[in-house]
Structure 1
Amino acid sequence: MSKAIYPGTFDPFTLGHLNILEKACHIFDEVILAVAEYSGKENLFNLQERYELCKKATEHIPNLVVSTFQGLFVDYAKSQNCKIMIRGMRAVSDFEYELSLAITNKKLNPEIETIFLVPSLKYMYLSSSMVRQLADLNGPLEDYVPACVAEAMRKKYVS
């Protein structure tokens, strides 16, 4: 059985993330959507909220498991007996960061392979940062995030 992990902070989980995830689920028998505790930045949603939103937004995908992890991705991948990491590659601006991440993970665990998937054109410039800015300015969210995420974001920005 082929298995891959799609790790990230998913703060918030966007339609671009969903697009990459659905592509991965067509390629692999099982995909783990691994919500990372550590993000290196201030999060809009805490780990449990991000996990629950990802779970709800992806409940239609049968070969998907949503989980959380702490610490290094390579340690989590080893605990899941998985050697493949999925990453989305939107534009040239993503390349340097994603390449350095892949190289670092490979150095930490030589068995890890990174597979880059390109989102559909309409999600090419979509980012979680952009969605947070839209929400902060009370902009429309439905074209950028699943409905459950849009609702949760509106609640966060109202309070």
Structure 2
Amino acid sequence: MTRIGFYSGSFDPVTLGHTDVVARAAELVDRLVIGIGVHASKTPMFSTAERVEMLREETLIIADKTGAAIDIITFDSLAVEAARAEGATVFFRGLRDGTDFDYEMQMAGMNGAMAPDIQTVFVAASPAVRHIAANLVRQVATMGGDVSSFVSPEVERRLQARFAGS
């Protein structure tokens, strides 16, 4: 039986915190589906295509190292529906702190009520990336700050290009 996990988010941009969760989740499943939530009410910094491309670039080495297949999809429905469509039996959710835990427990409860066949596994962020939040990375980048310790060199390049001449 193939173990399939589902990890969702906006990934705007992909941070070292995201790839930390991906790497550890990929160790636990045969196939990890990364779902990029696309919602009409949100205006992301990077287009959907750019976020898919960034995630593909960032996860190639992880897939090679872990042996897990890593697929990137987009979805505009509930995460439980997207996970179910992919055959996932586990949701992976990253936790940085107690605030994340409180929110993620509520989300796990809701997801569990809608999809009791899909378990939620919390992945505690590694200490080196625990402080990283994509919204803060966007803010620092927007103001011309150094984001090199929060994102990969390729994502940093994309952020710099986005704000060049701002």
* TM bin (shorter chain): over 0.9
- SS state at 1:38 partner: coil
Matching residue within 130, 133, 137 for 2:139: 133
Change (3 A) 1:126 1:39: farther
- Does residue 99 (structure 1) correspond to residue 99 (structure 2)? The answer is no
Equivalent-residue separation in structure 2 for 1:38 and 1:145 (angstroms): 24
Cα distance, 1:42 vs structure 2: 2.9
Equivalent-residue separation in structure 2 for 1:108 and 1:81 (angstroms): 15
CA RMSD of aligned residues (A): 1.5
- SS state at 1:18 partner: helix
Equivalent-residue separation in structure 2 for 1:39 and 1:29 (angstroms): 32
- SS state at 1:52 partner: helix
Aligned partner of 2:57 in structure 1 is 56
Cα distance, 1:40 vs structure 2: 5.5
Q: Please tell me whether the aligned partners of residues 4 and 32 of structure 1 are also in contact (alpha carbons under 8 angstroms).
A: yes
Aligned partner of 2:45 in structure 1 is 44
- Does residue 76 (structure 1) correspond to residue 66 (structure 2)? The answer is no
Residue type of the partner of 1:26?
E
1:105-116 alignment, distance < 5 Å = 105-116=111-122
Equivalent-residue separation in structure 1 for 2:40 and 2:159 (angstroms): 18
Aligned partner of 2:91 in structure 1 is 85
- Structure 2: tracts of 5 or more residues without a match: none
Equivalent-residue separation in structure 1 for 2:26 and 2:98 (angstroms): 25
Cα distance, 1:39 vs structure 2: 8.1
Aligned partner of 1:21 in structure 2 is 22
Question: Percent of aligned positions with the same letter in both sequences?
Answer: 28
- SS state at 2:27 partner: helix
Residue type of the partner of 1:45?
F
State TM-score, norm by structure 2.
Answer: 0.89
Q: Please tell me whether the aligned partners of residues 7 and 93 of structure 2 are also in contact (alpha carbons under 8 angstroms).
A: yes
Residue type of the partner of 1:156?
R
- SS state at 1:59 partner: helix
Question: How many residues matched?
Answer: 159
- SS state at 1:138 partner: coil
- SS state at 1:93 partner: helix
Change (3 A) 1:27 1:39: farther
Aligned partner of 2:123 in structure 1 is 117
Aligned partner of 1:145 in structure 2 is 151
Change (3 A) 1:36 1:112: same
